[in-house]
Amino acid sequence: MTDKTNITLTINGRDHAIAVEARRTLADAIREDCGQTGTHIGCEHGICGACTVIVDGEPVRSCLMFAVQAADKKIRTVEGLAKDDTLHPMQQAFMDHHGLQCGFCTPGFLMLAVGVLEREPHISDDDLLDVLSSNLCRCTGYANIIKAVRAAAEEMRK
Amino acid sequence: MSAPETKGSGLKWVGRAMRRVEDPALVQGQGRFTADLPATHWVRFVRSPNAAGKIGNIGKPGNAMVITAADLKGVKPITPMLHKFSYKPVAQPILADGVVRYVGEAVAAVVAPSEEEAEDIAELVELAIDETTPVIDARDALKDGAPQIHAVAPGNIILEGKVKTNGFDAIWTSAAKIITIDARSHRQNATPMEARAAHAAYDATSGRVTLTCTTQMPHLMRTAIADVLGMPESDLRVIAPDVGGGFGQKMSLCAEYVVVVWLARKLKSSVAWTEDRRENLIASFHSRDQYITLEAAFDANAKLLALRADVVSNVGAYSCFPTTSGVEPLMAMAEMPGPYDVQQYQCLARGVITNTCTMAAYRGVSRPVITFTLERLMDKAATAFALDPIDIRRRNLIDKFPYKSAMGLEYDEATYKETLEMAVKAIDVPAFRARQIAARAKGQYLGIGFATFSERTGYGSPAFAARGMEITPGWETVILTVDPSGFVEARIGSSPHGQGLRTTLAQIIADEIGVTPDVIKIVHGDTDTSPYGWGTFASRSLVISGGATLIAAQKVRAKLIKIASHMLEVAPDDIVLADGLAKVAGTDRSVTIAKMAREAYTQTHRFKGEIEPGMTETGTYDPPGTFSNACHVAIVEVDIETGHTKIERFLVAEDAGRIINPMIADGQVVGGIAQGIGNALLEEIIYDEGGGILTANLADYMPPTASEMPPVELHHIETPSTQSITKAKGLGEGGCIGAPAAVVNAINDALSPFGVQIDEIPATPQRIRAALRAAEKAARKTA
């Protein structure tokens, strides 16, 4: 399993030419080959969602996708959310509503919420709860995450 | 700096829901966690597939570097010690040596240039293990003829706590009624979202190793690893960078971290290990696996007279360092009587060794289990006396303070009855009862459950010494400096990892020395830059590190006033520190704190030897401890067809003394409740008979998601603590202590028409259905 394939990953608008084994997950490639360690790995079996990134507009679990599958696609990670010195409304809302404690699950929640709201800006509260239930947080008890995402949704619709 | 809400303290920063200074980096992916570091060598542990057996040949593939116990000559085993309770000093080899004692025990360490290669090689390592019969359940381990797991601990008993108050028998025999519960708490894993990880780097210039690891106690890890490896502590630096949750699991010394440091020294290079989730679930620390039989003697008026408890705590294969495996059974024994007035108490608490993963602290330690047991018992007693569950609590909650418990604990003050009444009023019990009756008529089963409890927090070294611990954590030290640029830095021994301590300590300092929090930096988590301290656990950091911070800040304040009185040529009493200035009261004269700080370093001659040069002061605090308290109420609906429980509403009335930052405090409570709900309904580590784990991923071991969380309503009483100099009490654990009892009491209330008793957590759909089926069967028999 050591044959490597040359691919280009486009992360937050920047190209990374890397050589990866076919089995390398997108999560590992983003973190180790491209040095973007803001994306975290919590379970490597697709349950916790800490590794969620946006690929071609869709939130995906980067531990369940191979790096080669993401070649030439547009990948967005937490590092690309803020524009210059201005935080994305979702980042600001997580701070304002205390939607994080240890911060380990936070990048995954941010990318999940941003990805879903860009696709569905008028998502209902029930559907939003369903979507947010796909990631795990062990610190907050979720109430403040939900509050933050609702507040950011309003901001993003402006 | 945003600070939209002020309440309570009347102080300028303390009491505000100030936004956290921790957050900007974390929301931008700029947190720095252990696994983010690159390394030259990666480790994969080969773990035992068997729960018990003798290790034969270990087949190593080709030229691979595979380390086993035979290579670790001179490395001491982990042997925590307790000098009481007939404790047996069970030793844990760093890698299994000769025998394996649980599924997941590390037997060998594979070293390779990448994680993938290390994993590939690990799969090729052949372990020949001659299996022996394991014992998994604690009650089985106590039976005659059970396999003996450690020669040093005959009968598999690692410790035995016994207590019986004078006059117990006479009171017991005078009782009008004895109520009994056989409670069972199944096994849990704390499940921080970041599993364990360690990275050790050797520095050729100094000969030192820097261990970066995900821990709650960096200083003690340094002490412990240096002891085990027999190396000078000064050659080891331990860094706890951003830590992705701990909840107690990251308090204990991990054998894996010792291996990583040993390898870095051997290879004179950098070596890393990142645990995967399966390893975390099977081989990191477990908790809560207990049987408790609790009997209560009541008089004819339902007044509690005496409690008798038998605690059997499954502590797993080894004893955790530093707390030892006494952490659960001894906490159960010490705090079982909880918030109730009862002066007669008998308890036998045993820690029992089994062929399972080692037990260690998990948020709340034994208190979620003892609160569950005692609060279930109070509800049973209410039924037996035909009383309302609220009434029986009213008759028995302590309401005179200070109160000395049957175990000799001093309850300084508490608001048990006040929080109960607050909760009762807020939840509107009569309205609920009416709704419950109406729902039952439609085949819907609603229930309400209460839990009142006491949360011991912020206790110093005497409390740990009372347990006979060889290591008595307790005190904390803070070194506070105003630097020559006028900025403030506090170096702390605590090691926060999500609790927001960098924010709350800045609030305390800001008020004391009259600056804004944005000029204050809190430095923690590096043994080279922070003073020795114990870390963050046991709802202690804000009380103890906060107290040490206040002491240091008071000293800096005194010095600033002295300098200001020199510079402004007025009496010290006329100086007011505020807004970054020392002002002369009633005038417009002032000097900036930055200028005073500069002169404390650069113009010392001006102070005529009356002031020590510089602006650094140290505070150390070792408090007696205090008790927070709360009443939790849950309203649930149980689907009797599926056994599924939905929590409709959850309400908390709590008192944790002065609240430094209400936003952070509420976040701790709600987060704790989520873990308590997991404990009540969902989370269980399940072993099969052979000691294999059936719940080794997050689809089978189920922490709650957003969908399982009810709306949580919080009500506060702020009784300033007299036992804590900041007047704050700890509240990190309360949420998870009360929730299991409240939820399961509510389930039992919902199912009361069926005569069902659920005394087991988690109360899964399977268990609820089994209880309903058994009740139906019994009803058919009598019919």
CATH number at residue B88: 3.90.1170.50
| Domain residue spans of chain A | 4-78, 89-157
Of the residues A43, A62, A110, the best mutation for testing chain B's interface (the one with the most B CB atoms within 10 Å of its CB) is: A43
Query: Domain containing B359 — which CATH number?
Result: 3.30.365.10
DSSP secondary structure string for all residues of B259-307: HHHHHHHHHTSEEEEE--HHHHHHHS-EE--EEEEEEEEE-TTS-EEEE
pLDDT of residue B497: 94
Pick the residue from chain A with its C-alpha nearest to B670: A141
Same domain, yes or no, for B617 and B636? no
Buried b (16+ CB within 10 A) or exposed e, B497-520: bbbbbbbbbbbbbbbbbbbebebb
Do residue B36 and residue A138 have CB atoms under 8 angstroms apart?
no
Strands B616-621, B590-592: pairing kind: unpaired
Pick the residue from chain B with its C-alpha nearest to A39: B29
* Residue B370 CB-density burial (10 A; 0-12 exposed, 13-18 middle, 19+ buried): buried
B189 is a domain residue: no
Q: Which residues contact B49 (CB under 8 A, 6 or more apart)?
A: B103, B127, B129
Whether residue B116 lies within 8 A of chain A, CB to CB, comes out as yes
Name the residue among B29, B195, B276 with its Cβ closest to that of A77.
B29
From the list B550, B491, B500, B502, the residue with the least C-alpha distance to B526 is B491
The position carrying tokens 């946006």 is A54
pLDDT of residue A2: 67
Q: List chain A residues with CB under 8 Å of B276.
A: 44
The CATH code that applies to domain A89-157 is: 1.10.150.120
B716 backbone dihedrals φ, ψ, rounded to 5°: -125, 145
B190 backbone dihedrals φ, ψ, rounded to 5°: -65, -30
Same domain, yes or no, for B260 and B293? no
Q: Which residues contact B211 (CB under 8 A, 6 or more apart)?
A: B198, B199, B200, B221, B222, B225, B236, B237, B238, B239, B257, B260, B261, B264
Do residue B245 and residue A139 have CB atoms under 8 angstroms apart?
yes
Same domain, yes or no, for B457 and B546? no
Asked if residue B542 lies in contact with residue B626, where contact means CB atoms within 8 angstroms, the answer is no
Q: How far is A128 from chain B (nearest CA, A)?
A: 10
Name the residue among A95, A136, A140 with its Cβ closest to that of B23.
A95
Tokens of B334: 């010490």
Q: List chain A residues with CB under 8 Å of B28.
A: 38, 78-79, 81-82, 87, 91
Same domain, yes or no, for B320 and B457? yes
Do residue A79 and residue B709 have CB atoms under 8 angstroms apart?
no
CA atoms within 13 A on the CB side of B331: 29
From the list B272, B202, B207, B265, the residue with the least C-alpha distance to B234 is B207
B residues 186-205 lying closer than 8 A (beta carbon) to A: 191-195
Same domain, yes or no, for B447 and B298? yes
d(CA A55, CA A73) in angstroms, rounded, equals 7
B residues 719-748 lying closer than 8 A (beta carbon) to A: 735
Same domain, yes or no, for B385 and B501? no
The position carrying tokens 């008192």 is B655
d(CA B756, CA B753) in angstroms, rounded, equals 8
Asked if residue B275 lies in contact with residue B191, where contact means CB atoms within 8 angstroms, the answer is no
Do residue B498 and residue A102 have CB atoms under 8 angstroms apart?
yes
Do residue A41 and residue B35 have CB atoms under 8 angstroms apart?
yes
Whether residue B426 lies within 8 A of chain A, CB to CB, comes out as no
d(CA B540, CA B423) in angstroms, rounded, equals 26
Whether residue B214 lies within 8 A of chain A, CB to CB, comes out as no
Same domain, yes or no, for B334 and B449? yes
Of the residues A104, A114, A131, A132, the best mutation for testing chain B's interface (the one with the most B CB atoms within 10 Å of its CB) is: A104
Q: Estimate the share of chain A in helix, then strand, then coil, as percent rounded to the nearest 5.
A: 40, 20, 40
Same domain, yes or no, for B521 and B538? yes
d(CA A150, CA A124) in angstroms, rounded, equals 10
Do residue B243 and residue A102 have CB atoms under 8 angstroms apart?
yes
pLDDT of residue B344: 98
Whether residue B518 lies within 8 A of chain A, CB to CB, comes out as no
Asked if residue B632 lies in contact with residue B375, where contact means CB atoms within 8 angstroms, the answer is no
B3 backbone dihedrals φ, ψ, rounded to 5°: -155, 75
Do residue B193 and residue A50 have CB atoms under 8 angstroms apart?
yes
Name the residue among B32, B36, B670 with its Cβ closest to that of A143.
B670
Asked if residue B51 lies in contact with residue B356, where contact means CB atoms within 8 angstroms, the answer is yes
B151 is a domain residue: no
Tokens of B61: 């593939």
Whether residue B24 lies within 8 A of chain A, CB to CB, comes out as yes
Residues A57-73, mean pLDDT to the nearest whole number: 97
d(CA B21, CA B500) in angstroms, rounded, equals 8
Q: Which residues contact B535 (CB under 8 A, 6 or more apart)?
A: B215, B216, B217, B218, B219, B220, B251, B473, B493, B494, B495
B166 is a domain residue: no
B127 is a domain residue: yes
**pTM (predicted TM-score):** 0.97
B residues 374-403 lying closer than 8 A (beta carbon) to A: none
Q: List chain B residues with CB under 8 Å of A105.
A: 193, 244
Q: Residue A1 pLDDT more than 90?
A: no
B17 is a domain residue: no
Number of domains in chain B: 4
Name the residue among A47, A78, A107 with its Cβ closest to that of B697.
A47
Alpha-carbon Rg of chain A, whole angstroms?
Answer: 15
- 3-class secondary structure for B195-264? CCEEEEEEECCCCEEEEEECCCCHHHHHHHHHHHHCCCHHHEEEECCECCCCCCCCCCCCHHHHHHHHHH
The DSSP H or E segment spanning B712 is: strand B712-717
Same domain, yes or no, for B268 and B351? no
pLDDT of residue B6: 36
The position carrying tokens 């030897």 is B609
Same domain, yes or no, for B598 and B498? yes
Do residue B706 and residue A145 have CB atoms under 8 angstroms apart?
yes
Asked if residue B290 lies in contact with residue B761, where contact means CB atoms within 8 angstroms, the answer is no
SS3 B12: coil
Pick the residue from chain A with its C-alpha nearest to B661: A98
d(CA B99, CA B91) in angstroms, rounded, equals 13
Do residue A40 and residue B33 have CB atoms under 8 angstroms apart?
yes
B157 is a domain residue: no
Strand order in the sheet with B575-578: B575-578, B581-584, B590-592
pLDDT of residue B9: 39
Asked if residue B509 lies in contact with residue B515, where contact means CB atoms within 8 angstroms, the answer is yes
Asked if residue B81 lies in contact with residue B313, where contact means CB atoms within 8 angstroms, the answer is no
Q: Which residues contact B172 (CB under 8 A, 6 or more apart)?
A: B297, B305, B306, B308, B344
What is the identity of the amino acid at B699? Answer: A
| Helices B593-602 and B541-568, packing angle to 10 deg | 80
B13 is a domain residue: no
From the list A69, A68, A147, the residue with the least C-alpha distance to A109 is A147
Pick the residue from chain A with its C-alpha nearest to B667: A140
pLDDT of residue B618: 98
Architecture of domain A4-78 in this structure: Roll (3.10)
Same domain, yes or no, for B367 and B481? no
From the list B318, B334, B329, the residue with the least C-alpha distance to B285 is B318
Q: Which residues contact B340 (CB under 8 A, 6 or more apart)?
A: B304, B374, B378, B396, B397, B398
Determine if the peptide bond prior to B89 is cis (ω within 30°).
no
Whether residue B240 lies within 8 A of chain A, CB to CB, comes out as no
Do residue A101 and residue B33 have CB atoms under 8 angstroms apart?
no
Tokens of B740: 């299991």
Whether residue B264 lies within 8 A of chain A, CB to CB, comes out as no
Q: List chain A residues with CB under 8 Å of B23.
A: 94-95, 100, 103
The position carrying tokens 């659960």 is B328
**Residue B112 is part of which domain span?**
41-134
Query: Could you count the other beta carbons within 10 Å of the beta carbon of residue B585?
Result: 10
Asked if residue B292 lies in contact with residue B332, where contact means CB atoms within 8 angstroms, the answer is yes
What is the identity of the amino acid at B463? Answer: A
* Residue B404 CB-density burial (10 A; 0-12 exposed, 13-18 middle, 19+ buried): exposed
- In this structure, the dihedral spanned by the alpha carbons of residues A96, A97, A101 and A105, taken in order and rounded to 10 degrees, is -100
Query: Could you count the other beta carbons within 10 Å of the beta carbon of residue B283?
Result: 25
Mean pLDDT by 10 residues, chain B (783 residues): 38 91 98 98 98 97 95 97 96 98 98 97 98 98 98 98 98 98 98 98 98 98 98 98 98 98 98 98 98 98 98 98 96 96 98 98 97 98 98 98 94 96 98 98 98 93 85 93 97 95 97 95 98 92 96 97 95 94 94 96 89 96 94 98 98 96 97 98 97 98 98 96 94 96 98 96 98 93 80
Do residue B706 and residue A129 have CB atoms under 8 angstroms apart?
yes
Whether residue B689 lies within 8 A of chain A, CB to CB, comes out as no
Q: Estimate the share of chain B in helix, then strand, then coil, as percent rounded to the nearest 5.
A: 35, 25, 40
B68 backbone dihedrals φ, ψ, rounded to 5°: -130, 180
Count Cβ–Cβ pairs < 8 Å, chain A vs chain B: 167
Q: How far is B327 from chain A (nearest CA, A)?
A: 23
Same domain, yes or no, for B367 and B479? no
List C-alpha distances in Å: B668 to A95, A107, B68, B673, B732: 15, 20, 42, 9, 6
